[in-house]
Amino acid sequence: MHLKTKDKRWRVLVTRRIPRAGLALLEPDCDYHVLAEEGLPSHEDVVRAAVGVDGIISLLTERIDAAVMDAAPGLKVIANYAVGFDHVDLAEARRRGVLVTNTPGVLTETTADFAWALILAAARRVVEGDEEVRAGRWRTWEPEGLLGVDIHHAVLGVVGYGRIGQAVARRGAGFGMRVIFHDPGEQESVPLDDLLRQADIISLHVPLTPATRHFIDRERLRLCKPTAVLVNTSRGGVVDQDALAEALAAGTIFSAGLDVFESEPLSPDHPLCRLKNVVLAPHIASASRATRDRMAVMAATNLLAALRGETPPNLVVRP
């Protein structure tokens, strides 16, 4: 079904600037408006800019809720520039017959690479070492200076064994690790509490849903080995961040690497920022040039398919 008449161009809101590769695809058929060329638009700005649009490309930084959808009664699609879509009100979208899409697959390997960057940095104290060198505190080679934990031949516990979790696990094989995972959908899934007791390195790869909010809470952190390293590249809300800061401060786990936070950006006043045994990254796991370009193409392709009345390749909500 072709909904577009010859002279109608679709009106598209792009909430923030995305790579050119995606915008170029929109040009032939859409009048698009990039709301924020830089920085973050407010929710009010998004609502105002959504008035009358046929489609929205949004980022994980914008809450796309009923107010946004109300502004655009003809809205056909919310094409999300991210694999995670916890910031989109799916129930509202479904109720209105608005399609929601995401960008899975293209960022899997890049995100898994970064989970490993955090694993290595947190286990081997790479950032602390860098700080010592720069600050002129490096005096001598020391038999017991900056001791970390071994990754090779350790037990890797992957929580959420989807695309990204599996890509992280594959890399573990190169380090001779034994991999265990927790994922209720998978046959060899280990109960989460057992995984936390056994794993030396724990990497989180579950989407944020009501069921996974504070999946790793104070009780569960207590199950971890004092030598454990916890890495989160999924969503901040999966971990009780305050409980994690306490566990790190008390040394009941060895270290952590975090790319995601309960509220982003993380305030520099947060207790986590005062701890040496945590490596903090500003939500950059998928940030390679090639991957961010592919995500833009994928979001635009999904949007255009939906506007043409076709089934977008990466639907997360069907009408």
Determine which residue in the list 83, 190, 201, 247 makes contact with ligand GLV, applying CB under 6 A: 83
**20-28, 76-84, 236-244, 246-254 -> range binding ligand GLV (CB under 6 A):** 76-84
203 binds ligand GLV (CB under 6 A): no
State how far the Cα of 58 lies from the Cα of 31, in Å rounded to an integer. 16
Amino acid at 240: D
Give the contacts of 95 (CB within 8 A, at least 6 positions apart). Answer: none
82 binds ligand GLV (CB under 6 A): yes
Give the contacts of 231 (CB within 8 A, at least 6 positions apart). Answer: 115, 118, 119, 122, 201, 202, 203, 204, 256, 257, 258
Considering the complex, what minimum distance in angstroms separates the CB of residue 134 from ligand GLV? Answer: 20
Residues 108-134 as b or e (16 or more Cβ within 10 Å = b): bbbbbbbbbbbbbbbbbbbbbeeeeee
120 binds ligand GLV (CB under 6 A): no
283 annotated active-site = yes
Candidates 205, 235, 292, 294; catalytic one: 235
3-state secondary structure of 251: coil
88 binds ligand GLV (CB under 6 A): no
176-179 contacts, C-beta under 8 A, 24 or more apart: 176/152, 177/151, 177/152, 177/153, 177/201, 178/153, 178/154, 179/155
248 binds ligand GLV (CB under 6 A): no
Considering the complex, what minimum distance in angstroms separates the CB of residue 121 from ligand GLV? Answer: 19
**81-89, 165-173, 220-228, 297-305 -> range binding ligand GLV (CB under 6 A):** 81-89
286 binds ligand GLV (CB under 6 A): yes
Candidates 87, 264, 270, 308; catalytic one: 264
Considering the complex, what minimum distance in angstroms separates the CB of residue 107 from ligand GLV? Answer: 6
**Nearest by Cα to 51 from 30, 71, 21:** 71
Considering the complex, what minimum distance in angstroms separates the CB of residue 146 from ligand GLV? Answer: 13
H or E, element range at 84? none
60 binds ligand GLV (CB under 6 A): yes
Number of C-beta neighbours around residue 314 at 10 A:
19
Residues 277-291 as b or e (16 or more Cβ within 10 Å = b): bbbbbebebbebeeb
Closer Cβ to ligand GLV, 136 or 141, answer by number: 141
Tokens for 181? 């995972």
**10-18, 77-85, 170-178, 297-305 -> range binding ligand GLV (CB under 6 A):** 77-85
220 annotated active-site = no
Candidates 11, 182, 205, 283; catalytic one: 283
Determine which residue in the list 65, 84, 96, 225 makes contact with ligand GLV, applying CB under 6 A: 84
Q: How many residues of this chain interact with ligand GLV, rule: CB under 6 A?
A: 6
Closer Cβ to ligand GLV, 108 or 255, answer by number: 108
**63-71, 79-87, 209-217, 299-307 -> range binding ligand GLV (CB under 6 A):** 79-87
92 annotated active-site = no
Whether 34 and 17 have beta carbons less than 8 Å apart is answered as yes
Considering the complex, what minimum distance in angstroms separates the CB of residue 112 from ligand GLV? Answer: 13
Point out the residues that are catalytic.
235, 264, 283
Name the site residues for ligand GLV (rule: CB under 6 A): 60, 82-84, 107, 286
